[in-house]
Structure 1
């Protein structure tokens, strides 16, 4: 009995240590890439990215012995460093973004915050909206209106990608309509606001698939998501190109002025 008890304790510790080793020690290419970014050549950076891609492929396939959420959290931290390194990303682009989220959302499809990062990094920066939508659709199979709370946001992010980056108004209308339906099941002010804005966007698209109002409203959603400065500027440029204006209020929020005609 004592031997079995020790084994029951030691085995999970060994497994956990192995997983941590993979996440933090094995293939530390990303850390090297970050520390050497000022002097590294494009060729060196590309080799580092290929090595990081191999590590992500391995993490996607390896058994986790029940530590899926731990793997998702560790890989999300890696992604944050990758995405936030503007100097290197300006040289190499954002092509690894969807690879990170293949791992993260495969391991933890209820990782709500990851879906927003998926949309911004993969659709907006990596120019791969199809990948972002496909990953979201797979994750949505594990979600419901109540689990996790505010999972209606995932449908909104998907609708944003479909409308702004694929120009698929019909698919976007469907996504915003479901977001409105899921959000309407909650009585808190945030959920009710999301239900109303999502429903209005769906109605705009139903009346006019090429609606500038719907596109401006959707870029406004991007702008309101506490995004980084680069994303904020991109959203403002897009709104202005559609005939709208963005005004900074004394309270520090953005107010969108829509054009006179849709």
Structure 2
């Protein structure tokens, strides 16, 4: 009976997801390589309704499955360059909410959504709010969870100007990283928290946060934005690529 019950639940979820796909497809069929801005806006309206449903759809114990599906839909949405170039990334926070609502322990998703939601969609407020929601379900025992505190601190200092909240996020990142066995991240985050405590308005703190974005960004536009912001703050960077990894060092004026 348990197996039959599970099969029925999966079938219900699949039917709901299929309904969402069908609803979206009815809009997508009118789009082609020469689609206009109005066509994309029509598609976005359909996607928004689908996401509102997806955020509240019952998972029947298969929340990971729904969250994975939502994340894959986000990847497809984010990678649709012709559409994004014309109408932007407004739905990114909605995809983020769908993932967090169903699987707040999906740590890797936060790391993708942080930049996408704060920089591309221009909604760092939603990014931080969703991270706060998810962190209530996380602990240092979950692999790499400390990165969420770290990324949240970056959003708070760069886009919200909330130095106090950023200092707390860095301190928590240090604490969780230490408990997770990553002393390097723990030391770096602790140093950032201590620095913010004594220099809340420092340009170095802001430039360092942009360096963390530059070091991890794969999109050329985000890299250019981070580099330009660092330079505007008076900083100079040195980028080295070793073994497939990017290492970025920062030099700031001595009077900061």
Pair 1:58 & 2:58 matched: no
Secondary structure of 1:256's aligned partner: strand
1:255 alignment counterpart: 249
Q: Which blocks of at least 5 consecutive residues in structure 1 are unaligned?
A: none
Alignment partner of 2:184 out of 179, 182, 193 = 193
Pair 32,261 (structure 1): closer, same or farther in 2 beyond 3 Å = farther
2:135 alignment counterpart: 140
Q: Give the RMSD, CA atoms, in angstroms.
A: 2.2
Pair 186,12 (structure 1): closer, same or farther in 2 beyond 3 Å = closer
Alignment partner of 1:95 out of 74, 90, 102 = 90
CA contact (8 A) 2:156 2:165 kept: yes
Give a deviation string over 1:74-108, Cα, whole Å, max 9, x none: 11111112112233212101110100011011000
- Return the offset for 1:8: 4.0
- Return the offset for 1:5: 7.8
The normalised TM-score by structure 1 is 0.88
> How far apart, CA to CA, are the structure 2 residues paired with 1:217 and 1:7?
54
Q: Which moved more, 1:23-32 or 1:236-245?
A: 23-32
Aligned pairs (5 A) from 1:170-181: 170-181=164-175
The normalised TM-score by structure 2 is 0.90
CA contact (8 A) 1:97 1:122 kept: yes
- Return the offset for 1:13: 4.8
> How far apart, CA to CA, are the structure 2 residues paired with 1:116 and 1:6?
35
Pair 51,24 (structure 1): closer, same or farther in 2 beyond 3 Å = closer
> How far apart, CA to CA, are the structure 1 residues paired with 2:6 and 2:126?
41
Q: Which blocks of at least 5 consecutive residues in structure 2 are unaligned?
A: none
